Amino acid sequence: MTQSPFEVASAVTEVGPNRFTATVPDGWQQGRGAFGGLVLATLLRAMQRCEPDPARAVRTLIGDLCGPVLVGPAEIEVVVLRRGANQTNLRAELRQGGEVLAFAGAVLSTPRPVGLPGLRPKIELPSREGAFLVPHDAPLKPVFTKHFDYEVVGALPFTGGAEPAVTGFIRERVAPSKVDAPAIIALLDAYWPAFFTTVTAPRPTATVSFTAEIVGDLGALDPATPLVYRARTVCDHEGFQPEQRELFTPAGELVALNHQTFVVIK
pTM to 2 decimal places:
0.96
Length of the chain: 266
pLDDT at 117: 74
| pLDDT, mean of residues 69-90 | 98
Strands 240-248 and 19-24: unpaired
Alpha-carbon distance of 192 to 145, in angstroms, equals: 10
Domain at 5-110+128-264: CATH code: 2.40.160.210
Give CA–CA dist 248/216, Å, rounded: 9
User: How many Å apart are CA 236 and CA 243, to the nearest integer?
Assistant: 10
Tell me which amino acid residue 228 is.
Answer: V
Answer for the pair 55, 44: CB distance below 8 angstroms, yes or no.
no
Residue 127 burial class via C-beta count within 10 angstroms: exposed 0-12, middle 13-18, buried 19 and up: exposed
| Digit-coded pLDDT (tens) for 14-42 | 999 999 999 999 999 998 999 999 999 99
Please state whether beta strands 87-96 and 72-83 pair in parallel, antiparallel, or not at all (unpaired): antiparallel
Rounded CA separation 195/234 (Å):
9
> What's the mean per-residue pLDDT of the chain?
95
Has residue 1 got a pLDDT over 70?
no
| Dist. CA 222–CA 250, nearest whole Å | 10
Average pLDDT value for residue range 250-266: 95
pLDDT tens sequence across 123-171 = 888 889 889 999 998 888 899 999 999 999 989 999 999 999 999 999 9
Cα–Cα distance, 163 to 177 (Å, whole number): 36
What pLDDT is stored for residue 116 in this prediction? 76
Distance CA 47, CA 83 (A): 12
d(CA 76, CA 201) in angstroms, rounded, equals 37
Distance (Å, whole) CA 54 – CA 47: 12
Which tens digit of pLDDT belongs to each residue from 199-216? 999 899 999 999 999 999
pLDDT at 43 over 80: yes
Domain boundaries, the chain: 5-110+128-264
Nearest to 74, CA basis, from 20, 33, 6? 20
